[in-house]
Amino acid sequence: MQPIPSETWHLAQINLAYGRFPVNSPEMREFADAIDEINALADVSPGFVWRYMTDSRDPLQREFADPNVLFNMSVWRDMASLQQFTYRSAHGPVFARRKDWFVPWPQAVAHLPEFAPGTPPVALWWVPAGTLPTPAQGIERLRWLGERGPSPQAFGFKHALSPSGALIQR
């Protein structure tokens, strides 16, 4: 199989979290105060392509009926760029505090009728460069990964695949 040039593909990601409290509550203030800064950092990070933007405080623009579900979706040039932002930028310390603000995902997913138990909170997949995923497509990738496991259709950081479907060595 011929390798597929990575510049013809971009990496899409969706991730969900379930707040321990409503995002506008005093208990979530530190997290809520960091959202704009982290989004601004993503916007200027090397390899960043796009992020889905909505005003999640507006009930007419929510991806889920439950207001404690936080939804994030973005597109990156490649896996290395996404990993750099996620784990080695100023996002890292905020990510490290996720247990302070969010219910462990296995407990959270049990209360979300949209998903079967075992659905992961994160899914990654390759899209043709210039293509932007929709929330519905991202949600479907989460379901796919939960039902079928890692494949070129959807995978996670621990079993990351290249655009050609080869395992990316960490």
Q: Is residue 170 part of a domain?
A: no
Query: Mean pLDDT throughout 86-101?
Result: 88
Higher pLDDT, 91 or 82: 82
Q: Is residue 146 part of a domain?
A: yes
- Quote the pLDDT of residue 96: 87
Q: Is residue 116 part of a domain?
A: yes
Mean pLDDT score across all residues of the chain = 90
Q: Is residue 119 part of a domain?
A: yes
Provide CB contacts within 8 A for 106, sequence distance 6+. Answer: 117
Higher pLDDT, 93 or 20: 20
Q: Are 48 and 81 in contact (CB under 8 A)?
A: yes
d(CA 48, CA 74): 8
Q: Is residue 1 part of a domain?
A: no
Higher pLDDT, 57 or 30: 30
Residues above pLDDT 90, as percent of the chain: 74
Q: Is residue 164 part of a domain?
A: no
- Quote the pLDDT of residue 122: 98
- Quote the pLDDT of residue 74: 96
CB atoms within 10 A of CB 68: 19
Q: Is residue 107 part of a domain?
A: yes
**pTM of the predicted structure, to 2 decimals:** 0.90
- By residue range, what is the domain housing residue 14? 6-159
d(CA 133, CA 82): 16
CA 21 to chain CA mean position, Å: 20
In this predicted structure, the answer to whether residue 2 has a pLDDT above a threshold of 50 is no
d(CA 140, CA 134): 10
Strands 48-51 and 69-76: antiparallel
List, for residues 117-146, the tens digit of each pLDDT value: 999 999 999 999 999 999 999 999 999 999
We report the CATH number of the domain holding residue 26 as 3.30.70.100
Q: Is residue 83 part of a domain?
A: yes
Which H/E stretch holds residue 33? Answer: helix 29-44
Query: Mean pLDDT throughout 101-128?
Result: 95
In this predicted structure, the answer to whether residue 58 has a pLDDT above a threshold of 90 is no
- Split into its structural domains, the chain has a count of 1
In this predicted structure, the answer to whether residue 57 has a pLDDT above a threshold of 80 is no
Region of 104 please: left (phi>0), alpha (psi -120 to 50) or beta: beta
